[in-house]
Amino acid sequence: MMQRTRAWRRRKARLTGVKIADTRHYFQQVFHDDRAKPIAALKPHQPGKLTHVQEMRLLLNVGDQLREGLDAYPA
């Protein structure tokens, strides 16, 4: 029978964290583009316009409100 003590769980958690950090570092090295600009620098926000996420949230809220309104009136 395998002994799964607190020390064993902590060691497994530590090793898993190290593997994740190593994988993240590897992908950052492989796919890093020195010419890439930050997203905020590519397209500045225009005053008076919604961002993409704000627009999506607005559409989802409108859809929910319509559904709730239609549910109030049974067919």
Query: Which tens digit of pLDDT belongs to each residue from 9-65?
Result: 999 999 999 999 999 998 888 887 777 766 655 667 778 888 888 888 998 998 888
Residue with token string 């090295």 = 29
What is the model's pLDDT at position 75?
Answer: 61
CB neighbours of 51 closer than 8 A, spacing ≥ 6? 45
pLDDT band, residue 69 (cuts 50/70/90):
confident
Question: d(Cα 23, Cα 15) in Å, to the nearest integer?
Answer: 12
All structural domains of the chain with their residue ranges: 6-72
What is the model's pLDDT at position 42?
Answer: 63
pTM above threshold 0.85: no
Q: Which two tokens stand for residue 71?
A: 């549910």
From the number of C-beta atoms within 10 Å of its C-beta (0-12, 13-18, 19+), residue 37 rates as exposed
